[in-house]
Every structure is written in C-alpha cells, then in structure tokens.
A and B are shown apart, each in its own frame.
Chain A
Amino acid sequence: MAFEDVVIERNLNKWNVLVASLIAGFDKLGVLSQAVVNKDMEVVADKLARFFKVKGNVPQVDSSSSFEENMKRIIEFIDRELELAGESSVTLEGENVTFEVVGNTCHFCPKGVGEAELPGTACPYPSLLMNFANKFLPEDQQVEVVLQDRNYLKKEGGKCRIIFRRKS
C-alpha cells in the first residue's frame, strides 16, 4: 500500500509520521531491531513520565487497586494521551493484562507507517508501556512483558498483541 493511502487509512497526523519515520530511519543504517527500540523506549518512557508529572496529568493509580486494574488504567491513559492507534483494547485475563492494537490502525508502527523493511518487529509499545507503567505502579506491582514465542508482541488476525504481567 502506498504511504499516501496509509495516511488516510490510519488517519495519521504529522507527529505520527515524524515519530514512526524517525524510528524507521535507523533501518537505513542497519541498526533497527526490536531490542534497540526497547532500549530507546526506556528513555522515552522516563521522559514522558516526567513530562506528565510536570503537567499534573498522570494516570490514576493507587496501591489499594490490583495490579491488573492499575496496569489497565495506565495503558488506557497513555493510549488516550498519545493516541497510539485508531482501534485498540485492554483486556484482563487472569494474571495477564493484554493490549491489542488493530494493526492497520496503529499510528506509530515503524514498519506500517515508517516503512522500515526489517524482517522482525520494531514495535515501540511493549517497552514504552512497561517502562512508563513502572514509573507509576507501586513497588510491589512492577510489570514485565510476557514473551510470546520469544517475541515482545505477536501479530495474529491483523492484531498486534502485547501481554503484561506482574514482575515475579
């Protein structure tokens, strides 16, 4: 699909294009990978957490709520604030908190929007959400990403699925 069609299909704004292309651009140097994006998003998550604190706009998290409830609130907060995708959902399944994005509505995909041509994934969301959440979750509710077949996310039926659970 031509980029021009992607802009319309995903209802992209200029910031979506800027960020997705910025990440994708590293593929031109041969240095883009999921691991690199994960590292990079540690920094981004820290900066965003500090940004939202300065602005007095933070996710509503409290130690009396369960990990799953708090994590759901944090994901929904960041999804709302950054408009990660046109269609997404957060579901609770036992100990897992699952964030699903309809692939062709994702606003920051380095492959779908940025047109990076690497064989694996380079999704910013697993590390971004995990590290951002860990800035707000109570110490006994720190979160980690559940690997799916050794991957940080799994694409199935047109949806990208990221699973989180409480760090053991």
Chain B
Amino acid sequence: MEETRNILKEFLKVEGVIVAALVSFDGFLIDGVGPQGVDLEDMAVAASTGYGLGKRLGENIQGGDIKQIMLEYEKRSVIVAKVPFVDVILFLVSEEGANLGAIRYSIKKHAGELSKVL
C-alpha cells in the first residue's frame, strides 16, 4: 500500500491534479489520495462504470483495448487509464486549467511503476 501511495502522490505533483486513485475492475478502491471530504469509494464505482462503458463502446466500434478515457467538465477533468498488465484502473481528477498533456505524460511515466507494485 505504501508503494502505491507513493506513486499516487507523484501524480498530485502535476499542477492541477487533485485526486489520484487506483480502482479494481469490479469497482473497489484499492488506494487513493485526494482532498479531505472527497468520497473516493463513490468515485471508484463511477470510474469503473465509466471504464466498462468505454470498453464496451470500444468493442462496438472495433477499436481494440481501451487505453484512456478523458472527460472534460466545466470545472474539472477526469482521466481514467488502464494500468498495464493488471486489472486495475488509474483515476485522476484535475482542476480547471490543468495541463492535460502534462497529466497524460505523468501517466505514461508512472504507469509502469504501478504495474510492478500491483
């Protein structure tokens, strides 16, 4: 848990990222960091549902495996990405104005580390 926590904290160093969490495919929170009062368990259920929906859409369009889902809202953005080689989803929330490119780069940088410790 400490290993995953340390990697998740790396995502919070990217400007604008406020939540970083790992969610199992069946919707349960494995580990997460975020502001107090945020219900990470609830987010985990929604993240896995969004991932499942995206995966099914990918099958419908014959798009292959899902790599990443990005949702841009008025005030915040969400990125959901599969952690390579394991049935786990990485879930990030960022504030308005965050550099989404930098967030995607951080995923690329740390995803492999997550695979190793999960």
Give the B-binding residues of A (Cβ under 8 A).
28-36, 38-39, 119-121, 150
Residues of B within 8 A of A150 (CB): 28
User: In the assembly, what is the distance between CA of A150 and CA of B27, in Å?
Assistant: 12
CB distance from A145 to the nearest CB of B (A): 12
Q: Is the CB of A36 within 8 A of B56?
A: no
Residues of B within 8 A of A35 (CB): 26-28, 44-45, 48
Q: Is the CB of B52 within 8 A of A34?
A: no
* Chain B interface mostly: helix
Residues 41-62 of chain B, each 1 if its beta carbon lies under 8 Å from chain A, else 0:
0101100110011111100000
User: In the assembly, what is the distance between CA of A137 and CA of B67, in Å?
Assistant: 45
Best-buried of A28, A31, A32, A36 by chain B (most CB within 10 Å):
A31
Give the A-binding residues of B (Cβ under 8 A).
25-28, 42, 44-45, 48-49, 52-57
User: In the assembly, what is the distance between CA of A38 and CA of B45, in Å?
Assistant: 10
User: In the assembly, what is the distance between CA of A53 and CA of B53, in Å?
Assistant: 37
Q: Is the CB of A33 within 8 A of B52?
A: yes
User: In the assembly, what is the distance between CA of A30 and CA of B54, in Å?
Assistant: 8
Given A35-B45, A119-B25, 17 new contacts (CB under 8 A): A28-B56, A29-B56, A30-B56, A30-B57, A31-B49, A31-B52, A31-B53, A32-B52, A33-B25, A33-B26, A33-B45, A34-B26, A34-B27, A35-B48, A36-B45, A36-B49, A39-B45
Closest 8 CB pairs of A and B: A35-B27, A30-B56, A30-B52, A33-B27, A33-B26, A120-B26, A31-B49, A35-B45
CB distance from A9 to the nearest CB of B (A): 27
User: In the assembly, what is the distance between CA of A94 and CA of B57, in Å?
Assistant: 48
Residues of B within 8 A of A39 (CB): 42, 45
User: In the assembly, what is the distance between CA of A39 and CA of B49, in Å?
Assistant: 12
Residues of A within 8 A of B55 (CB): 30
User: In the assembly, what is the distance between CA of A28 and CA of B55, in Å?
Assistant: 11
Residues of B within 8 A of A32 (CB): 52
Residues of A within 8 A of B45 (CB): 33, 35-36, 38-39
Q: Is the CB of A36 within 8 A of B27?
A: yes
Residues of B within 8 A of A30 (CB): 52-57
Residues of B within 8 A of A34 (CB): 26-28
Best-buried of A30, A32, A39 by chain B (most CB within 10 Å):
A30
Partner of A33 from B49, B54, B56, B57 at Cβ < 8 Å: B49
